[in-house]
Structure formats: C-alpha cells, structure tokens
C-alpha cells in the first residue's frame, strides 16, 4: 500500500514510522521534517499528507506532531479525510473498524517504539466494520 507520512520533527518515533512501514512492504512518501526542503510546521506538513489521501496519491497517511493533536486537526480539515489520534493498539483497531479512519495521527511525545509497533500492527490489519450502524455513522461524516 502507498502511505504518506508527515512529521513536524524527527524527534520521537517519527523516523521509525517510515522504517517500520517500509520494512512491512509499504511504499512510503514523506513530508515535512522527514523530507528535506519542505516546510516542517505541523499544519503544513500534515496537510500535505492528508491531501495525498484526499487526492488519491496515497491510500492512507500517518501524521505526527509532538502531541498528535495539531496533526489530527490539520488532517481532518481536508475533505474525505478521517484522521484518528491513536495512543494504543485498541484505539487504532477501533479507529479502523468503527471510524474507517484513513489517517493515523500519532504523538511523538507519547508513543514509544513498542507501542508504535503495536499501533501499526492493529492499524494495518484493521478493516472497516460492515455493521449497518457503523456504515451509517461513517457515511454521515460526509454530510456534517
């Protein structure tokens, strides 16, 4: 899968996100602090990754900032993006299952390497629920 990754710094697990995704066989596009030459402020960097998803250049994205909050807010401004700030594997699994989330937001401060690996396992294995109530909730997001 083609996955766009943005971060506003190389601190924390930012570079490990890229290496882990590549190790698992995914094609990774980088933005912000992970791409020399691009603006690395979180709003700009995370917008670019979210637009990759919105405009079909990537199937999913991972957006990172110190808290994860700015990254998720920026991504969720982009039409068609459902970004979820995930702190553990259970949240990541739920975000894929119940929210059909297509952008994973991470806190560089909070996410350890071990927890990152667990989050990526759950996120990448996760599939959207086909329960009609879940499908209706996700469909309603476009109408809000």
Ligand X SMILES: O=C[C@H](O)[C@H](O)[C@H](O)COP(=O)(O)O
Residues with catalytic annotation? 65
Q: Measured at the alpha carbon of residue 98, what is the angle toward residues 66 and 140, in degrees to the nearest 5?
A: 100
Q: How far is CA 55 from the centre of its chain?
A: 15
Residue 32 within binding range of ligand X, rule CB under 6 A? no
**Cβ 111 vs Cβ 13: under 8 Å:** yes
Q: Of 52-91, which residues contact ligand X (CB under 6 A)?
A: 65-67, 69-70
Question: Residue 69 or 112: which CB sits closer to ligand X?
Answer: 69
Question: Residue 100 or 107: which CB sits closer to ligand X?
Answer: 107
Site string for ligand X, 108-137 (x = CB under 6 A): ------------------------------
List, as one string, the DSSP characters of 1-23. -EEEEEES-S-TTHHHHHHHHHH
Q: State which of residues 4, 42, 58, 76 lies at the interface with ligand X (CB under 6 A).
A: 42
Locate 48 and state its tokens. 């670019």
Q: Applying CB under 6 A, what is the total number of residues that bind ligand X?
A: 7
**Cβ 40 vs Cβ 21: under 8 Å:** no
For the CB of residue 24, give the shortest distance to ligand X in the complex, in Å: 25
Question: Which residues would be at the binding site for ligand X (CB under 6 A)?
Answer: 8, 42, 65-67, 69-70
């Amino acid at each position: 899968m083609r996955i766009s990754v943005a971060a506003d710094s190389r601190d924390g697990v930012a570079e490990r996100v890229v290496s882990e995704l590549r190790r698992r066989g995914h094609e990774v596009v980088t933005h912000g602090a992970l791409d020399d030459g691009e603006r690395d402020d979180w709003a700009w960097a995370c917008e670019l990754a979210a637009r990759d998803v919105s405009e079909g250049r990537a199937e999913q994205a991972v957006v990172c900032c110190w808290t994860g909050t700015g990254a998720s807010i920026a991504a969720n401004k982009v039409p068609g993006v459902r970004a979820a700030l995930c702190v553990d594997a259970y949240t990541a699994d739920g975000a894929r299952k119940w929210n059909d989330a297509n952008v994973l937001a991470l806190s560089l401060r909070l996410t350890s390497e071990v927890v990152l690996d667990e989050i990526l396992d759950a996120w990448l294995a996760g599939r959207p629920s086909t329960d009609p109530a879940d499908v209706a909730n996700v469909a309603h997001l476009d109408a809000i």
